[in-house]
């Protein structure tokens, strides 16, 4: 773990401890059990949505970032997720970290009844407590970042996520993290952003996909998602040819006056390639 990631995780630990003081883990487990028992908000499969979709775009709701500062300060979770779905998104990613990304769990709670596509809780997940929160507010999937977890922690959180009905998108950045992949993982995301320098390089996705193909000999190849720094339909086209089924895109859409329309135009151009 390094740089901004260490800072974010240090803050997460403090944040989770204070949330547990306000609402105990035991209480949250009880709330999640009620949600599961009622069965009124079953999780939708993001993996199936991406596998079945022609576009595979996971459109991200992102107000700010450590690398860019404010991108869309006044973004409303009542509007943009709906516009993303209408614009052709296959799934949504909603950043729920407040300090560094200007998001909150309320953004998922707000969007959930307004859209039909799966929602990924995008945060820095290190504790069961955050999985319970995700399920209670209506997320369908969670991100687990290899760089924030030991392989054992990652396995334990994956099993717990599954018990709650949540799918797992495992994020890796380097070849050394390929060892985190196992048959329990639903989707593998390759992050193109170097969290030390903040630079994005889509070549990282091509490199890692090649290494993964060699490592798995083409068998049991997981559903792959390319994350960060995707700004053109041509890049998406090339990533698809390299075996990616999901494309996580935030800033390219969020920095425009109308993110839903920007997504629609992006897909229109992609369809011509």
Ligand X SMILES: O=C(O)c1ccccc1NCC(=O)[C@H](O)[C@H](O)COP(=O)(O)O
Catalytic residue list? 60, 62, 122, 171, 191, 227-228
Q: Does 208 bind ligand X (CB under 6 A)?
A: no
Q: Does 62 bind ligand X (CB under 6 A)?
A: yes
Among 91, 111, 195, 212, binds ligand X (CB under 6 A): 195
d(CA 42, CA 140): 8
Q: Does 228 bind ligand X (CB under 6 A)?
A: yes
d(CA 29, CA 266): 41
Q: Does 57 bind ligand X (CB under 6 A)?
A: no
Residue 159 or 234: the one with the smaller Cβ distance to ligand X is 234
Among 55, 65, 130, 270, binds ligand X (CB under 6 A): 65
Residues 6+ apart with CB under 8 A from 60: 92, 93, 94, 95, 122, 248, 249, 250, 253, 254
Longest CA–CA span in the chain (Å) reads 53
Q: Which two tokens stand for residue 188?
A: 């593998």
d(CA 273, CA 270): 5
Q: Does 173 bind ligand X (CB under 6 A)?
A: no
Q: Which two tokens stand for residue 2?
A: 């390094």
Which stretch, 27-35, 47-55, 192-200, 201-209, contacts ligand X (CB under 6 A)? 192-200
Residue 154 or 195: the one with the smaller Cβ distance to ligand X is 195
Among 92, 144, 249, 263, binds ligand X (CB under 6 A): 249
**H or E element, residue 248:** strand 244-249
Q: Which residues bind ligand X (CB under 6 A)?
A: 4, 60, 62, 65-67, 191, 193, 195, 198, 200, 227-230, 248-252
């Amino acid at each position: 773990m390094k740089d901004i990631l260490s800072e974010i995780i240090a803050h997460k630990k403090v944040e989770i401890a204070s949330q547990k003081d306000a609402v105990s883990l035991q209480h949250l487990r009880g709330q999640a059990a009620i949600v599961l028992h009622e069965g009124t908000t079953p999780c939708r499969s993001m993996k199936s949505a991406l596998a079945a979709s022609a576009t595979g775009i996971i459109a991200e709701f992102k107000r700010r970032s450590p690398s860019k500062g404010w991108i869309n300060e006044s973004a409303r979770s009542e509007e943009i997720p709906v516009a993303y779905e209408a614009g052709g998104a296959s799934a949504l990613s909603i950043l729920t970290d407040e300090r560094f990304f200007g998001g909150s769990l309320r953004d998922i709670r707000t969007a959930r009844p307004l859209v039909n596509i799966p929602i990924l809780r995008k945060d820095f997940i290190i504790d069961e407590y955050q999985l319970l929160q995700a399920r209670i507010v209506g997320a369908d999937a969670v991100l687990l970042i290899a760089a924030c977890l030991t392989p054992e922690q990652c396995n334990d959180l994956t099993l717990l996520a599954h018990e709650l009905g949540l799918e797992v998108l495992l994020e890796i950045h380097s070849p050394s993290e390929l060892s985190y992949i196992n048959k329990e993982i639903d989707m593998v995301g390759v992050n193109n952003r170097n969290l030390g320098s903040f630079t994005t390089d889509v070549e990282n996705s091509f490199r890692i996909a090649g290494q993964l193909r060699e490592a798995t000999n083409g068998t049991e190849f997981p559903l792959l998602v390319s994350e960060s720094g995707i700004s053109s339909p041509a890049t998406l086209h090339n990533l698809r040819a390299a075996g990616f089924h999901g494309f996580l895109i935030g800033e390219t859409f969020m920095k425009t006056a109308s993110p839903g329309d920007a997504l629609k135009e992006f897909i229109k151009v992609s369809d011509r390639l």
